[in-house]
Amino acid sequence: MSAEPAFKPRLAAIPDPGEPKIVAEGINKTFINRENGEEVVAIENLDLTIRDQEFVAIIGPSGCGKSTFLYMLAGFEDISAGTLSMDGHPVTGPGPDRGIVFQEFILFPWRTVLRNITLGLEMQKVPRAEAEAAARKWIGLTGLTGFEDAYPATLSGGMKQRVAIARALAYNPEVVLLDEPFGALDVQTKFYMIRDLQTLWQEAHKTIVMVTHSVSEAVIMADRVVVFSARPARIIYDERIDIARPRDALDPKVIDRQREVTEVLSAEVDKQMRREAGRNPLGN
């Protein structure tokens, strides 16, 4: 289970933000509700710049459109209006420059752990030996050593998610998109995963965008926390978390930032609840 890297940077400073990597300008997303045919505005006039090798956590009330935004970055969701670009080129579809990790792991049960992780490299026609060497590096860093030949069905949830993370990193995308990566794990497993993987994110040298429900996850893991409003999504909070790593959930600075983000978020959730109650004839 231990993901001991070769060296463990103590109190590593937060890297200075690099060049703009992902630029979203005036993003709008509307879709038609299938039940009543009404037009729903999911995202309205959203601007967000994510810099190279920045770890950004996006948090917001459920159904606020944060996952939709992540799927836009991945190239799977169309944009109704606005521009979304990466390295100055518009995002038009999925590509191997962006890796994605889903809440529900999405492993390939017919492949062993090693073969799951080499798949991306196989797709890029990397020779087998080279692909395996690359996979083994990430197997070591994610704490999967000894499980190379196991089938996913034999693994616990936490181990499955380690495989999914290693798989997304192994083919060396520039951007890693995490869609509620710890949402399906129990509290205990989640705690260890967040702690064990702290150094992994630093050593990966990737731009990381994580969507999450959990304020503590966001504050412990990310360089920057962005809070989306309830639908239609706008940015209502955007702050850097200048706390040295590794971060401890009990560090007063971490707790302070968690409180700050929680206040913004709960005010938004309250607003959303009141609005829904007003619309719902049963809720007073």
Q: Is 109 near another protein (CB under 8 A)?
A: yes
Q: Is 92 near another protein (CB under 8 A)?
A: no
Q: In sequence order, what are the residues at sequence separation of 6 or more whose Cβ sits closer than 8 angstroms to the Cβ of residue 94?
A: 74, 75, 76
Q: Is 83 near another protein (CB under 8 A)?
A: no
Q: Is 90 near another protein (CB under 8 A)?
A: no
Contact pick of 18, 26, 63, 94 for another protein (by CB under 8 A): 94
Q: Is 98 near another protein (CB under 8 A)?
A: yes
Q: In sequence order, what are the residues at sequence separation of 6 or more whose Cβ sits closer than 8 angstroms to the Cβ of residue 90?
A: 83, 84
Q: 68 vs 8, 29, 122, 147, CA distance in Å?
A: 35, 9, 29, 34
> Which is nearer to another protein, 42 or 155 (by Cβ)?
155
Residue 175 C-beta: closest distance to another protein, Å: 10
Residue 179 C-beta: closest distance to another protein, Å: 9
Strand partners, 27: 46
Q: Is 154 near another protein (CB under 8 A)?
A: yes
Q: Is 119 near another protein (CB under 8 A)?
A: yes
Cα dihedral sign, 52-246-255-162: positive
Q: Are 194 and 217 in contact (CB under 8 A)?
A: yes
**Helix and strand element counts for the chain (H, E):** 8, 10
Cα separation, 90 vs 22, whole angstroms: 10
> Which is nearer to another protein, 106 or 236 (by Cβ)?
106
Q: Is 61 near another protein (CB under 8 A)?
A: no
7-15, 33-41, 156-164, 275-283 -> range binding another protein (CB under 8 A)? 156-164
Q: Is 181 near another protein (CB under 8 A)?
A: no
Residue 82: which of 40, 51, 58, 46 has the closest Cα?
46
Per-residue buried b or exposed e for 116-142, using 16+ beta carbons within 10 Å of the residue's own CB: bbbbbbeeeebeeeebbebbbebbebb
Site string for another protein, 9-48 (x = CB under 8 A): ----------------------------------------
CA angle 251, 3, 57 (to 5 degrees): 50
Which helix (H) or strand (E) segment holds residue 191: the answer is helix 187-196
Q: Is 123 near another protein (CB under 8 A)?
A: yes
Contact pick of 171, 182, 201, 228 for another protein (by CB under 8 A): 171
Instruction: Tell me which residues touch another protein (CB under 8 A).
Output: 74, 76, 94-96, 98-100, 102, 104, 106, 108-110, 119-120, 122-124, 151, 153-157, 159, 167-168, 171, 173
